[in-house]
Amino acid sequence: MLTQQTSYGAFHIGDRDALYRKMAEAIQEASGTAESFSLIALTGGSTPKAFYRWCVAQGVFDSDQLNAALWTTSDERHVPRDSEESNFGTAERLFLDPMGVREENRIPWPVDVDPHSAGIVFNRLWAERFGEHRGFDLCFLGMGEDGHTASLFPGSPLIGLETEDNFSCVEVPGKGWRLTINETGISRCSRICVIVTGAGKADAVHDVLHSEPEDSHRPIQLLRRYAERVVWLVDEEAAGRL
């Protein structure tokens, strides 16, 4: 695996297996204890699905290890948990269920209320259980071809939003309502792991590193501020233009 230091954090470039091993290591390193749970956010998209299947096939974790963490997702679509579109539901079906993660270790987004209320309920739950200023010990993020991350899309009203809350709801044109970690939430994470796979991401990966954030309007470039806490796991196809 090739490692390259950049102004956006350390880039690790390798094949899918090497990437999945690094993701598993990040989870192992973030593992808490029965007295002090760690907080881990999984992400949506196609890359984590492949990782979940790999974990189950490889048997890389034991359930005690995973039950020392509390699990949610860094963003969520406002759909029922049993929908194929649900990031948390997908994580449950492909990862948390087969790995034996207990129900009480799961923190799904409250999609049974309207999106505005869901944002309020989730921020309140977080503040009461963990303290308002607590961030994730480990937060996985993906990146879209347009440079979006979580549900922070180019032109989003959430970009630059000043708030004490870690999470927001937002209507994304053409994609419906989303619940997402916002910039405040990202700023509070101890460790961020960005996973990027596939040739379709090669231009975006190149542009992140070679354009100024104010010129490119790629929300993922906000990670530059937290570079020392950010690790990128990029497959060879997505790194094709580096």
Residues that bind ligand 6PG (CB under 6 A): 43-47, 75, 87, 142-144, 148-151
Q: State the Cα–Cα distance between residues 62 and 69, nearest whole angstrom.
A: 12
Considering the complex, state which of residue 67 and residue 74 has its C-beta at the smaller distance from ligand 6PG: 74
**Strand partners for 42:** 73
Q: How far is the CB of 36 from ligand 6PG (least distance, A)?
A: 28
Considering the complex, state which of residue 99 and residue 143 has its C-beta at the smaller distance from ligand 6PG: 143
Are 118 and 110 in contact by the 8 Å Cβ rule? The answer is yes
Q: How far is the CB of 75 from ligand 6PG (least distance, A)?
A: 4
Q: How far is the CB of 152 from ligand 6PG (least distance, A)?
A: 8
Q: How far is the CB of 62 from ligand 6PG (least distance, A)?
A: 26
Considering the complex, state which of residue 37 and residue 153 has its C-beta at the smaller distance from ligand 6PG: 153
Beta strands in the chain (DSSP E): 2-6, 9-14, 38-42, 69-73, 75-77, 138-142, 167-172, 176-181, 192-196, 230-235
Considering the complex, state which of residue 67 and residue 115 has its C-beta at the smaller distance from ligand 6PG: 115
Which residue, among 209, 208, 225, 226, has the nearest Cα to 217 in the 3D structure? 208
Considering the complex, state which of residue 135 and residue 219 has its C-beta at the smaller distance from ligand 6PG: 219
Considering the complex, state which of residue 25 and residue 145 has its C-beta at the smaller distance from ligand 6PG: 145
From residue 58, give the alpha-carbon distance in Å to each of 20, 21, 24, 55, 155. Answer: 10, 10, 11, 5, 40
The encoded tokens of residue 121 equal 């309920």
CA 187 to chain centroid, in Å, comes to 13
Q: How far is the CB of 72 from ligand 6PG (least distance, A)?
A: 13
Q: Hey, what's the torsion of the CAs at 11, 19, 230, 28, to 10 degrees? A: -140
Q: How far is the CB of 225 from ligand 6PG (least distance, A)?
A: 19
